A = this chain, B = another copy of it.
């Protein structure tokens, strides 16, 4: 299958029915780059404006409304050594009475990212207790998705059924993601790489950085999905993007109920039983206009 090397020369701040930058076929692989959430590239030069500039869209031949687009995240490599992020938690994630004691939202900390050692360390410690605060990196895609329905162009600050700014730290190398197709060609966009991120993106940032990305697409013709789904070695999972978190859980849980019946041939009763006793949840983000929750089922419980 062909591998396309694509170098972006423009970016989008919405995910929508923009002119495609490349036509690719199911089975094709793309190697490309993404800039960071502020539009800074691998040379730390600002080449476009935020929020979350998207590389793409890529037009997948044969994708039609009602299909499901499969995206294998083959490789995610930070392609520079500087990451940045906010040191203070966001105002919406603490008790309202605790807001005045939060650090300023204007502060930024910089991280030295060593891709070989797979570590990020603070360039400038902010206190003696944590010092350079070395953390392991876990490169992830913050924002990706397909053109939404009805001709919408949805800000890359938020997320919905089409994907978008889900900021889930499980969208890492090796994961397969499934997006419902709402427009011919699907029109896949991606960007907003994080070298690492806490659950919930509680400060509104991870370690923000530019990436070299490799991904491979496939197409499930006639397979309908309602929300982004995913799969790794241990789990299948669904996402719900909304507010409040309760509704994210409702969306993701309902999508998983449907998927279990569709994928494994479970009856509704068995899908309920399986979920009730084995389901797991994770918080994607609780910062963006739409929050994200992840509903997971361990693959070891799925019937053959």
B198 and A88 contacting across the interface, CB-CB below 8 Å:
no
Interface centre among A12, A102, A273, by most B CB within 10 Å? Answer: A273
Segment among A23-31, A34-42, A152-160, A216-224 that sits at the interface with chain B: A152-160
Contact among B157, B266, B280 for A130, CB-based, below 8 A? B266
A126 within 8 A of B: yes
CB-contacts of A79-109 with B (<8 A): 85-103, 109
What are the interface flags for A174-213 relative to B under an 8 Å C-beta threshold, 1 for contact and 0 otherwise?
A: 0000000000000000000000111110110111000000
> Contacts A97-B91, A202-B253 hold; do A246 and B152 have CB atoms under 8 A apart?
no
> Contacts A243-B247, A244-B243, A244-B245 hold; do A276 and B129 have CB atoms under 8 A apart?
no
CB-contacts of A92-148 with B (<8 A): 92-103, 109, 126-127, 129-130, 133, 135
Nearest B residue (CB) for A247: B243
Chain B residues with CB below 8 A from A149, complex form: 155
Range of interface residues on chain A?
A: 35 or more
Contact among B100, B198, B276 for A276, CB-based, below 8 A? B198
Interface centre among A51, A127, A130, A266, by most B CB within 10 Å? Answer: A130
A61 within 8 A of B: no
A283 and B281 contacting across the interface, CB-CB below 8 Å:
yes
* Cα distance A130–B273 in the bound complex, in angstroms: 9
Nearest B residue (CB) for A296: B199
How many identical subunits does the complex contain? 4
- Nearest-neighbour CB distance to chain B for A138, whole angstroms, equals 11
* Cα distance A85–B88 in the bound complex, in angstroms: 34
B303 and A129 contacting across the interface, CB-CB below 8 Å:
yes
B150 and A203 contacting across the interface, CB-CB below 8 Å:
no
- Nearest-neighbour CB distance to chain B for A116, whole angstroms, equals 21
Nearest B residue (CB) for A17: B153
* Cα distance A42–B291 in the bound complex, in angstroms: 41
Contact among B16, B135, B277 for A277, CB-based, below 8 A? B135
What are the interface flags for A249-274 relative to B under an 8 Å C-beta threshold, 1 for contact and 0 otherwise?
A: 11101100100000011111110111
Chain B residues with CB below 8 A from A200, complex form: 249, 279, 281
A272 and B203 contacting across the interface, CB-CB below 8 Å:
yes
* Cα distance A199–B280 in the bound complex, in angstroms: 5
A225 within 8 A of B: no
The residues of A with any CB-CB pair to B shorter than 8 Å are 12-14, 16, 51, 85-103, 109, 126-127, 129-130, 133, 135, 149-155, 157, 196-200, 202-203, 205-207, 242-247, 249-251, 253-254, 257, 264-270, 272-283, 286, 291, 303
Q: Which 5 A-B pairs have the closest CB atoms?
A: A203-B276, A91-B96, A245-B245, A99-B99, A244-B244
Q: Could you name 8 residue pairs across A and B whose Cβ atoms are closer than 8 Å?
A: A87-B273, A150-B155, A150-B157, A151-B153, A153-B153, A154-B154, A205-B276, A243-B247
